[in-house]
Structures are given as structure tokens and as C-alpha cells.
Structure 1
Amino acid sequence: MATPKFTDKKYYIVLSFVTSLFFFWAIALTMGDVLNKHFQNLLHISKSKSGLVQLSIFGAYALMGIPAGIFMKRFGYKSGVILGLSLFALGAFLFIPAADTSSFDFFRLALFVLAMGMATLETVAHPFVAALGDERTSDQRVNFAQSFNGLGAIIGPLLGGYFIFGTPDSGSGSLNSVKNLYTWIGIVILVITIIFSFIRVPDLKDSHAEDILILENEKGEEESISDPHAPLYKQRHFIFAVIAQFFNIAAQGGTWAYFINYGVEKMHLPEIQASCYFSLSMAMMMIGRFIGTFLMRFIAPNKLLAIFTTCNIILCLVISQSFGWVSFISLILLNLFLSVMYPTIFSLGLKRLGSKVQQASSFLVMAMFGGAVFLRSWVELQRKISPMLIYFLSCAMQ
């Protein structure tokens, strides 16, 4: 049997563009964690209240997941991308009046609209990338695209740290640096939206939507798989993926939102330096995805997921004991093992779902609401519950 291609030539332009979306929303998502600390400083809010930043972001994921999936199924991938980018740009431009009024609630509204755009893009982009080629290489394409998500996650804290903490305005009580940064983000996203509207998308056949009841594994043996016609609630692997994603994002959101606080309060680092360490931690995530993609050639994805989760349990134990630099390095390394969780859970959850892939993608994006549920009271919770509990729950559900 011939080795399936990564993708076909006719998909090159579209795949390049959709892959870039993973890069852009990662920048916006991780920049929200920099804003978390900045709002504490300038708007004089508590750490607990600053968690409403992530509540606004992940809350949008919960509300927009299903509508985005319905829109995508009715109007197609291209229209879904344009909708997501338009909401993304609108949210960025709303930072202008939010900064002018110095209103935390207005900032939350801007972040909510921006996150609605990101949620739409995430709902559309994963099945879109999977559809751009042979079904047998869909995992490779998703992991490839997610690698650029890791690159964006590195650049986000660096951009945020420089423009928000590293400018003369940052210490003056002014929010002009935030306004200027998001104005430029809005302009860039708007230009990308206009360009993509002129790109022709070839006819696509959903790579997952094949009525297959039996597949041949690499040894040529037959392997029974689930019925793609069965409803989603009867697809056990999909249900487990949604639950796992909920707890995975809960753990991830809590780690990222207060990384800079940990660096400032526990390690006594300047905020801009803590932002750089946060960026280094995101680099660990990108490296972890490349390592994970390689290891999946030898280790089943679900087993690798369990191994990486176990490593994070150990790291969380070290972090929770405040062993100085040993704990801080463990915090940086946490993302190395968080790396494969999101794309692997997402990819495994979409397997063998036939024509229900778009609907399933919506629920997997909605599961990111776990970040909001746990993060709202993370400061209070961490006094009573060790972060490792979140990872134990995540591991148990996988």
C-alpha cells in the first residue's frame, strides 16, 4: 500500500493560511495572561478578580462552540474562518474605548468578543486542516498546525511583556500601551480577513466523514471500530475526550494565568523578566509537541497522553512545595508535558465520527470552559487543593 501524502498540491495555499490561524490565536490567548497581571497593577483589582479575564475568554468558548459548529456546517469552512476573523478583529478594536474609559468590565467585553472569534476559529480550523488531504495523515496535519500554535504562544508573552510592561506608559498608570497593541492586532487581523475572502478553497471531502466500519492496521490485520452512524453520546472515546479536555484546560489555564504572579511574588523577578520566562515555558510547549509527534511513531497516542500527564503530576508536587528555583524550573517545564494534551485529545475525540465531526468539534471547543470554572476561584482553591488534583482527574478521564 502506497504511503499517503501529507497533503495534495492543490491544498498548499489554503493549508498555509489555515495553519497561520493557529499562530495568531495563540498570540492573543497567551497575551491575556500578561493582561491579567497588568490589570492587577493599573486597575487595582485583586488576583481573584483578575481571574475574570480568563473567565471572559473561556466563557466565550463555552457559548460560541455550538453556534460556530452550526454556522460551519451550513455555510462551510471558509465562511466559518471569515466569521471568526471578523469577531477577532472587532474584539481587538474594542480595546480602544476600553482603554479610554479605564473600565475593567469594558476590557472583559472586548476580550469576550475577541475570544468568540478565537473559539470560532478553533471550531473550524481543526476539522478544516483534517479535511485538507488523506484521512490517514489528518493527525500529522493537526499536529503540524498545532506546532505553529506553540510558536504563537512563545511570541504572545514576549509581545505582551514588551508593549505592556516595557514601555514608558506601563508605569505611568496609562493604558495607552494596551490600546496601541490591540489596535495593531485588529488591523493585522482585518487585513488577513480581506485577503482570505479572495482565496479559492478547493472542493473538500471531510477526511473523517467516511462510512467505515473496518480498517486495516499496519500489519494488515482487521480492527473493529465504532459505528460512525451512532449518536455522539454513544461514542465513548468522544465523551472521554470532552471530559479530558475540560480538566486539561482547567489545569492549563490556572498555570498560565498566574505564572507571572509566581515569578514576581515567589522569585522576586521584575514583571518583564517574568514574562520572558513565561515565553520560555511556551517554547517548552512547542518543543514538547515536536517530541510528542515523534514519539507517537512508537507509542500509542492515548498511552503517551497518560505518560505526559504523570510527569506533570510529579512537577506539580514540586511546584506546590515552593523549593525556589527548583520549583520555578518545574513550572517552566510543565508546558513541555502539557504540550501534546490539547491536540491529542482533540484528534482522538474526532476519530471515527462520520458526518458528526463538525458537531463534535463544537463540543470539544466548549470543553475549554473548564479553564473558566476552575480559574475564577483558583487563588482560593490552591490553598485547599494541590494543583496535582486537576492532573489526577485529567489522567483518570483519559
Structure 2
Amino acid sequence: MIPVAHQQNAPSPSRTDQPLIGPGQRTPFVLVTSLFFLWGIPNNLNDVLIGQFMKAFTLSRFEAGLVQSAFYLGYFLLAMPAALLMRKKGYRAGMISGLVLFGVGAFLFWPAALSMRYGFFLVALFVMAGGLAFLETASNPFITQIGDPAGSERRLNLAQAFNPLGAISGVLLGTIFIFSGIELSPQNIAMSKANHTYEAYLRSETLRVVSPYMALGILAFVLAVIFFFTTFPRISAESTSTQGSEGSFSELLTKRHFLLAVATQFMYVGAQVGTWSYFIQYVQVYAHQTQKLAGLFLTGTLVAFALGRFSSAWIMQRVPPAKLMGVYAGVNIVLVALAIGFPGWIGLWAIFLTSFFMSVMFPTIFALGLRGLGVNTKIGGSILVMSIIGGAILTPAMGLISEIGHSIALAYAVPLIAYVCVALFSFLANGPSALGKLEINT
């Protein structure tokens, strides 16, 4: 799907001479790029929800980590149905289905809040994530194939750069509208319970999550209507899938570079989600800052993430993607080690900076994994989206480690191991026996 092999050789003139988007493809490109922004919002609202639910439902860190488990389980279970739908109906049908499912999940936050049941919120998050699985499985390959193949990597990097802008919006939305700024001390809680006002406090804290998610649901339904009435261009991959082979799982199992990419993506997503999910608590515990200020620090890390995405599109014109990712993974290994060994302001800023260097990893691993898959691209893309389940498994694992070791800093050993895996994958992709030489024929 993404011609990474071209990236590692001398750049072709067509990469700069040809327009990224043809005249008749600009509206679909802009609309699909807006989806990258959209799904960044709930992805990082989850980081706010973890802190809010720990307060509203008096949860442990492990129990609160189930927010990410429910969310990424939705990705895991519905990515493949999304790919099967798109093989028959095309990318636009997958996007519309995803927007509708996302909107339904967002609206479920209202009855969940009224019921005051944590499990109901997890169901709503699962439904939302199922919609996002459709959107991600459709949008990434569509962006790469909508224009000239020589510009596919630049198009994907441009579209992906809007995702962290959505993430920033999500954290700001949560920090402003969900966090109340009211943090009760144990003494205040005891007094509130004695005055029989504690339950009312918990209920008001729970209801604060409703408005932002209702707004997201309305936005999703509006976009679904716009997509329904927009004409999408026919692309070569869809034409091929209707005329010949649609690919098979057995062929994918012979692609070692693809299998390594899936495993690496699993580890990377776990590192990204876990890093952000526990960053607010890291700031509160080791820098002794308020929840609201910690939320603003998290927003800052997402700004760094966005800067990393935009800058990587320029750097990759001169540095092979796998090599750049390897260098960035090495830097993050050092930064996370500092965060574990020196919890406090040094560790805080170390974790803060990891967001800049992790920004290049998801699209680069995705691109390297799909290289040379041919008619298996849609299935391969859905499996790479399924590997996001790493966020569901490694995030509560971090919570469990923090509880057993009585240290949030120690929990960051999980991202440390993940970045080691990313560095090894980068070395294999850029070394003398690069992944590009491994079974890329279809």
C-alpha cells in the first residue's frame, strides 16, 4: 500500500512533481482526513475518564485501566468485520457504518451516567471503539490509494498529522468540561459522608462526562450524513478485489515482515496508551500538582506528539522511515529509563518528551507491515488495527504493576520494554537483511 521501498532508495522526481491530490479527489480527501482528527478526540478523552472514574466510582488504578481495555477490545473485535464489509461495499460504506456506530456509543453515555454503573460506561466505550475500528480500517488504506502511488506516504503522514490535533482537543475538552477541580481529601470525604452529601457529589462528578460525549455523537451523525451524500472516487484496490482474488489469511502467515509488524504494533500501542493513561497520576504523585494542571501537562505532551508528526513528514524526505524510527525508539528508551529512575520533575519532563519521539511509530510500523501485501492489503490492514489490543492489555498491566510495586514510576517499565521491541524492529527493517527483502512478492 505504501511504497516504503522507494523511500529507502533515491527519491523519485514524481514524489515532488506530482500533486498529492487530484482535482476530483480533494473533497473526499478532506472529509476522510477529518476522521483522523475525530478519532483522536475519544482516544485521549479516555485518559481523562480514567482519572474521573477513579474519583466518581472510587476505583483502583487497575480497575480504572479497564476503560482502555473496553475501548481497545472494540477495536480488536470489529476491525475484521470492517474489512469484510469494505471488500464487498467499499471504503465509504465502512466509514458511514463507523460514524453511526461511534455516534450510538457516544449517546450511550447519557443512560450510563443516569444509571451510575461503571459497567454501562464500559459498554458505551466498547460500542464507540467498534465504530472507530471501522473508521481506522477504512481511512488509512483509502488515503494511501486515493492519488498517485508515489505520493502515498506523504498523504498518509499529512492525514495522520491531524490525529494528534484531535487528541489535544480531546484532553482540553476533558480537562475543561469533565474535571470539576473539586478534589476531596480523606477528611472531606468523611465529613461529606457524615452529612449524607457524598453520594450527590459522586453523581455530579459522573454526570459531567455526558455533555462532551453527546456533542461527539451529534458530530458523528452529521458527518455520516455528509459522507452519504458525497461521491467517492473508485480506486484501483476496489476494482482489483471485485475482479480477482480477495486475499487470504494463509498468505499473510508467510509474510514475516507483516507478522513482526503486528507484534511490534501491539507493543507500541500499549506503550502509547499506557504512557498517556498514567501520566496525569504521575504528575500528581511525583510533582504534587493538581488534577487540572496535570491535564494541561498531558495536553502539552500531545502538542509535542503533533509537532513530531508534522516534522517527520519533512525529515522522511531525507532519512529512511525505519532508520528514523529506530533513532527515536532509542531516545525513548533513555527517556523512560530516566522517568523510572528519577521520579519527580526530571521524570515528568522525560515522559513529556517521549510523545515527540513516539509520534513517528504507528504510521511507520503500519506502512512497513503492509509493504508488498497486494490483494491482502485490506485484510492485513484490519489485522494491524486489531493489534491495537495492546492498549487494552498493557494499560491495566501497568496499573497492576503500580499497585504491586507501590510505584507509578515502576509501571513505566512496560513502555520501556515496548520501545526496545520497536528499536529491534527498526533495526531489522533498515539492516543489511532488511524487511523489504523478506517475501514481499504477492
TM-score, normalisation: structure 1: 0.91
Question: Do 2:181 and 2:292's aligned partners in 1 also have CA atoms closer than 8 Å?
Answer: no
Which residue of the other structure, out of 78, 82, 89, is the alignment partner of 2:92? Answer: 78
**Residue deviations 1:186-237, cap 9 Å, x none?**
1111111111110011222239979xxxxxxxxxxxxxxxxx9992122222
Code of the residue aligned with 1:107 in structure 2: it is: F
What number of residue pairs does the alignment pair up? 382
Code of the residue aligned with 1:247 in structure 2: it is: M
Q: For the residues of structure 2 that align with 1:9 and 1:359, how far apart are their CA atoms? A: 29
Q: How far off is 1:380 after superposition?
A: 2.7
Q: For the residues of structure 2 that align with 1:93 and 1:33, how far apart are their CA atoms? A: 19
Question: Do 2:113 and 2:210's aligned partners in 1 also have CA atoms closer than 8 Å?
Answer: yes
Which residue of the other structure, out of 324, 333, 339, is the alignment partner of 2:353? Answer: 333
Task: Name the SS for the 1:202 alignment partner.
Answer: coil
Code of the residue aligned with 2:423 in structure 1: it is: C
Deviates more, 1:312-321 or 1:371-380: 371-380
Task: Name the SS for the 1:199 alignment partner.
Answer: coil
Corresponding residue of 1:102: 116
Which residue of the other structure, out of 129, 151, 162, is the alignment partner of 2:176? Answer: 162
Change (3 A) 1:208 1:156: farther
Corresponding residue of 1:193: 224
Corresponding residue of 1:364: 384
**Residue deviations 1:222-264, cap 9 Å, x none?**
xxxxxx9992122222222111101101111110111111111
Matches within 5 A, 1:168-207: 172-173=201-202, 174=204, 175-206=206-237
Corresponding residue of 2:73: 59
Q: How far off is 1:150 after superposition?
A: 1.3
Task: Name the SS for the 2:161 alignment partner.
Answer: helix
Q: How far off is 1:172 after superposition?
A: 3.2
Corresponding residue of 1:308: 328
Task: Name the SS for the 1:234 alignment partner.
Answer: coil
Q: For the residues of structure 1 that align with 2:46 and 2:123, how far apart are their CA atoms? A: 13
Which residue of the other structure, out of 388, 391, 397, is the alignment partner of 2:419? Answer: 391
**Residue deviations 1:20-79, cap 9 Å, x none?**
000010001100110001000011111110010000011111111111111111110000
Matches within 5 A, 1:265-304: 265-304=285-324
Corresponding residue of 1:214: none
Q: For the residues of structure 2 that align with 1:351 and 1:392, how far apart are their CA atoms? A: 23
Which residue of the other structure, out of 104, 115, 130, is the alignment partner of 1:90? Answer: 104
Q: For the residues of structure 1 that align with 2:397 and 2:97, how far apart are their CA atoms? A: 32
Q: For the residues of structure 2 that align with 1:350 and 1:10, how far apart are their CA atoms? A: 27
Deviates more, 1:262-271 or 1:201-210: 201-210
Question: Do 2:36 and 2:166's aligned partners in 1 also have CA atoms closer than 8 Å?
Answer: yes
Task: Name the SS for the 1:165 alignment partner.
Answer: coil
Higher CA-based Rg: 2
Deviates more, 1:97-106 or 1:181-190: 181-190
Q: For the residues of structure 2 that align with 1:258 and 1:324, how far apart are their CA atoms? A: 14
Q: For the residues of structure 2 that align with 1:71 and 1:229, how far apart are their CA atoms? A: 16
Deviates more, 1:228-237 or 1:254-263: 228-237
Corresponding residue of 1:248: 268
Question: Do 1:133 and 1:207's aligned partners in 2 also have CA atoms closer than 8 Å?
Answer: no
Deviates more, 1:170-179 or 1:8-17: 170-179
Q: For the residues of structure 1 that align with 2:239 and 2:347, how far apart are their CA atoms? A: 42
Deviates more, 1:194-203 or 1:230-239: 230-239
Q: For the residues of structure 2 that align with 1:52 and 1:230, how far apart are their CA atoms? A: 33
Which residue of the other structure, out of 382, 397, 400, is the alignment partner of 1:377? Answer: 397
Q: For the residues of structure 2 that align with 1:373 and 1:47, how far apart are their CA atoms? A: 14
Deviates more, 1:34-43 or 1:189-198: 189-198
Q: For the residues of structure 2 that align with 1:373 and 1:230, how far apart are their CA atoms? A: 26
Q: How far off is 1:377 after superposition?
A: 2.3
Task: Name the SS for the 1:231 alignment partner.
Answer: helix
Q: For the residues of structure 1 that align with 2:376 and 2:24, how far apart are their CA atoms? A: 25
Q: For the residues of structure 2 that align with 1:148 and 1:296, how far apart are their CA atoms? A: 18
Deviates more, 1:347-356 or 1:241-250: 347-356
Deviates more, 1:383-392 or 1:87-96: 383-392
Q: For the residues of structure 2 that align with 1:298 and 1:275, how far apart are their CA atoms? A: 36
Q: How far off is 1:331 after superposition?
A: 1.1
Code of the residue aligned with 1:158 in structure 2: it is: L
Code of the residue aligned with 1:60 in structure 2: it is: G
Task: Name the SS for the 2:20 alignment partner.
Answer: coil
Change (3 A) 1:354 1:64: same
Question: Do 1:85 and 1:190's aligned partners in 2 also have CA atoms closer than 8 Å?
Answer: yes
1:234 aligns with 2:254: yes
TM-score, normalisation: structure 2: 0.82
Change (3 A) 1:209 1:130: farther
Code of the residue aligned with 2:18 in structure 1: it is: P
Question: Do 2:286 and 2:345's aligned partners in 1 also have CA atoms closer than 8 Å?
Answer: no
Q: For the residues of structure 2 that align with 1:253 and 1:229, how far apart are their CA atoms? A: 28
Q: For the residues of structure 2 that align with 1:208 and 1:134, how far apart are their CA atoms? A: 16
Task: Name the SS for the 1:249 alignment partner.
Answer: helix
Question: Do 1:131 and 1:208's aligned partners in 2 also have CA atoms closer than 8 Å?
Answer: no
Code of the residue aligned with 1:367 in structure 2: it is: S
Matches within 5 A, 1:130-145: 130-145=144-159
Gaps spanning 5+ residues in structure 1: where? 211-227
Q: For the residues of structure 2 that align with 1:195 and 1:206, how far apart are their CA atoms? A: 24
